[in-house]
């Protein structure tokens, strides 16, 4: 019997904000389960199916929508992305924290979710660079995408940045280490929330 229910730490931010690195590091440190998303976009060099994403055909993605397998799904940069319920619900139920890296549309869907388990678990954070110039520099620095894709990502990123105020928390990125310290601190603080503590007569005050 877990002493508390898990946290659903939802992280959004423009491409190049470093949010994926933060989420992955939290999972690598075994602080949380990383919710692996499904996508119809092709794998980039080095990406591994089942680790970075579940890479699906359009037909397979649509079949999952029809089966009601997604907690949320959205079209981002022309491809479909979705979070499987199975990547989230069973973990938070067992008191395991989950970290998810999703776009602003997906975040809006999760925020609108009426499931009490999700509502109680949800903590949302927006990660962003300090300036548009820094964002552009970070996006151009990633060599895996074509110039057209980089231009599209920059346009989308500037649009995404306008949504930061809808989130409970915002992190303006500094150095990798500082960002990670603040990010991990947020999770540690959220673990103290009374609303997620499961009370039982035999175990009333477990830390």
Residues with Cβ < 8 Å from 83, sequence gap 6 or more? 35, 37, 38, 70, 71, 72, 73, 100, 102, 106, 110
**Helices within the chain (DSSP H only):** 19-28, 58-66, 89-93, 104-111, 116-121, 132-141, 147-161, 176-190
Nearer to ligand 5GP, 41 or 191 (CB): 41
**Near ligand 5GP by CB under 6 A, which window of 21-29, 61-69, 98-106, 172-180?**
98-106
Q: Using the rule CB under 6 A, is 129 a contact of ligand 5GP?
A: no
Q: Using the rule CB under 6 A, is 21 a contact of ligand 5GP?
A: no
Rounded (10°) angle between helices 176-190 and 19-28: 60
Q: Using the rule CB under 6 A, is 164 a contact of ligand 5GP?
A: no
**Near ligand 5GP by CB under 6 A, which window of 1-9, 55-63, 95-103, 123-131?**
95-103
Nearer to ligand 5GP, 41 or 85 (CB): 41
Cα–chain center distance at 137 = 23
In the list 102, 135, 150, 186, the residue contacting ligand 5GP (rule: CB under 6 A) is 102
- Interacting positions 38-77 with ligand 5GP (CB under 6 A): 41, 72, 74, 76-77
């Amino acid at each position: 019997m877990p002493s508390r229910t898990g946290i659903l730490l939802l992280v959004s931010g423009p491409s190049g904000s470093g949010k994926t690195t933060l989420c992955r590091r939290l999972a690598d440190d075994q602080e949380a389960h990383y919710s692996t998303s499904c996508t119809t976009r092709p794998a980039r060099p080095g990406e591994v199916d089942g680790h970075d994403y579940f890479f699906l055909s359009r037909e397979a993605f649509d079949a999952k929508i029809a089966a009601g397998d997604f907690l949320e799904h959205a079209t981002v940069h022309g491809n479909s992305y979705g979070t499987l319920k199975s990547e989230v619900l069973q973990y938070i139920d067992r008191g395991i924290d989950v970290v998810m890296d999703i776009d602003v549309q997906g975040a809006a869907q999760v925020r609108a979710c009426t499931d009490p388990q999700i509502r109680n678990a949800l903590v949302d954070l927006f990660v962003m660079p300090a300036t548009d110039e820094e964002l552009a520099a970070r996006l151009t620095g990633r060599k895996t995408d074509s110039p057209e894709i980089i231009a599209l990502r920059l346009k989308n990123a500037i649009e995404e940045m306008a949504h930061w105020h809808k989130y409970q928390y915002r992190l303006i990125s500094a150095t990798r280490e500082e960002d990670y310290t603040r990010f991990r601190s947020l999770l540690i603080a959220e673990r103290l929330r009374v609303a997620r503590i499961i009370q039982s007569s035999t175990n009333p005050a477990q830390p």
